[in-house]
Amino acid sequence: MRLLIVDDSVVFRSQIKSAVESALPTSNISTAANGKIALQKLEQESFDVMTLDMEMPEMNGIDLISKMREERISMPVIVLTAHADVPLAVEAMKQGAYHYANKPFNLDEVLSRIEQIFRRSEAARQLKGEASEIEGSLKQMGLPDLLQVLSSNRRTGRVGLEAGTIKGEIFLQEGRPVNARCGIVEGEKALFRLLGWMEGTFAFTPGPISVAVRIDRGMEDALLEGMRQSDEANRMKERLPARSAFL
C-alpha cells in the first residue's frame, strides 16, 4: 500500500511515517513538504491514501485538493489541521476529503484511519474478480466500510456475520441491501442492529440470492440511517442513570 504524507513540518512527517512503518511494515511511504511537490508526485505515481496539512508554503491543502479534482486524481485524503484552520478543513471535506484531525492530533486516531483505508483498498482489489470472496475481522474493517466497497462494486451475494454465539447476515443485490437477519429479527431493524457491531467476523459469499425483499433503501441511505440510530441510542444511554443509583 502506498501513502503520501504532505506537511511542511519535518517533525509531523517523521511522526506519521514512523508510526505507519511500525504498524504496516509492507507499506510504501513518500513525503512532500508542500502541495506543489505533492502534486508533482501525484502526477508521476499512484497512491492509496494521503495525509494533508492545510497551511503550507507554495501550495496549501485546499489548492492541492482543487488541483487534484481538475486533473481527476482521486484518493482518500486525511486532512490534518490546526484548531484555527477548522473552516479550511470543513471546506476540504466538502471538496471530498475523507477525514480530518486537529493538530496536535492523536497519532493512534490518524493511524487507525490510514489502516481503515488500506483495508478498504485491499478489499476492493480482492473484489474486482466477479467470483471473489472476502472474509476478515470487524476490528480490521468495519461493516460500514465493507458494505460501501461491496456497493461501489455492485456485488450480489451474502455477508455472513458472527460475534460469539450471535449470527447475522445481510443480502445484497447489485450493491443494494435487500434483506438482513439478526437472530429472529429481519429487515431494516436487523440491518441497523448489525451496523452497530464493532467486534466479530465477516465473510462475503458472492452469487445469486433468493430472499424476500425487506429493505427498500440504497446503501448510502441505509448507512446514514444506521449511523443516526446508533448516535441516538448512544445519547439515550448517556442519559440513563448509573446502575449504582438503583442499589
82-94 pLDDT tens trace: 755 566 666 666 6
Q: What is the pLDDT of residue 176?
A: 95
pLDDT number for residue 246: 47
Cα separation values, 44 from 36, 69, 70, 221, 231, Å? 13, 16, 16, 37, 42
The predicted structure's pLDDT at residue 245: 52
CA atoms of 30 and 177, how far apart (whole Å): 38
State yes or no: pLDDT of 155 exceeds 70.
yes
HSE value, Cβ hemisphere, 13 Å, CA-based, for 173: 13
User: Confidence class of residue 30 from pLDDT cuts 50, 70 and 90?
Assistant: very high
Residue type (1 letter), 179: N
What's the pLDDT at 84? Answer: 54
